[in-house]
Structure 1
Amino acid sequence: MTAEAPTAPAAHPSAPEYGRLVPVTVHFDDLDALGLLHNARYPVMVERAWAQLWQERGFVGYAGDWEAAGDFCNAVRELRISYEAPVDRPGAYAVHLWLERLGNTGLTYGFRFCSADGAVTYAQGSRVLVRLDATTLRPTPWSERFRALGRELLRPES
């Protein structure tokens, strides 16, 4: 492992103009045999960052009962991720999260796995979720409370 920072990642401003920057920690056991953050760990860390963000806003998440889970009774329809530069050491990082689209029963969120200050991007992507009815497992609308908080995370149109 080298002590130098990667030279190829895309640079971004340290304070995001939209969405939220959520701190995450890469542990030694998240690294693969080459000493790099394993590709499968990125989506897990993004998922944990989203869970933390929603918990901070009063949503409990899934606790064993799909009916009680409400907006957290949802399924992933699509996941896209591109890896920009390797993470080659444990430590403090961040996930920049935002919503690209907030529909009636679905949403698309964007993310960047980045340095703790948000300045360096290591991976980026998007994920599409569909809210499900706990009984029928068919698409159903997001709650108004969820939609109100979600609107705060929408990325402004360019």
Structure 2
Amino acid sequence: MSDQKSRTEIVEVFFDDLDSFGVLHHAKYAMILERGVLSHFAKIGLALGHADLNNFVRELSITYESPVAGMGPVELTFWIEKLGRTSSVIAFRIHSGETLHAYGRRVTVKFDPRTRKPAPWTDSTRHLIEEEFLMKQ
């Protein structure tokens, strides 16, 4: 993470996110990632409906370390590992203070909604992401 800046969002775990044991269901970790990333992007001007949020998830990997028990806030810390011409790689940690619950990475590809083919990021979004997440060398 030496050349990236991380961001942390507080994300709520709700009752319907829990499994029958009262812990966060394994499939809901991806939703924690989505909620946190979209919340942060909205804060920096990339709200739902923005053309550069037309994305397909190409790859998602999650390693589970310690369960999230019960409802309440968890922290999502994420950073951009790579910003390509039409894609991005986000690495993340879901944690409660020092307790690491899960970590992983997500690769998304921006697409043109008319053709459903990869499309380049707009210059304004590329600049915004570089300013927000990438360190100057």
TM-score, shorter chain, exceeding 0.5: yes
Matched, 1:29 2:9: no
SS at match of 2:79: strand
Matched, 1:129 2:108: yes
The question of whether the paired residues in 1 share the 8 Å contact of 2:66 and 2:99 is answered with no
Instruction: Give the C-alpha shift of residue 133 in structure 1.
Output: 1.3
Give the alignment partner of residue 60 of structure 2, picking from 74, 79, 104.
79
SS at match of 2:115: coil
* 1:4-153 equivalence runs, <5 A: 18-62=5-49, 69-115=50-96, 117=97, 119-151=98-130, 152-153=132-133
Gaps of 5+ in 1: 1-16, 63-68
- TM-score, structure 1 as length reference: 0.77
Matches of 2:112 and 2:73 in 1, distance apart? Answer: 37
Quick check: which one's strand share is greater? 2
Q: Percent identity?
A: 38
The question of whether the paired residues in 2 share the 8 Å contact of 1:19 and 1:155 is answered with no
User: Could you list the per-position Cα deviations for residues 21-80 of structure 1 after superposition, in whole angstroms to 9, with x for gaps in the alignment?
Assistant: 100111233211111110011101110111101100112223xxxxxx410111111110
Larger Rg: 1
Q: Structure 1 70/21 Cα, relative in aligned 2: closer, same or farther at 3 Å? A: same
Instruction: Give the C-alpha shift of residue 140 in structure 1.
Output: 1.1
Matches of 1:87 and 1:154 in 2, distance apart? Answer: 30
Gaps of 5+ in 2: none
- TM-score, structure 2 as length reference: 0.88
Aligned residues: 133
Matches of 1:149 and 1:120 in 2, distance apart? Answer: 31
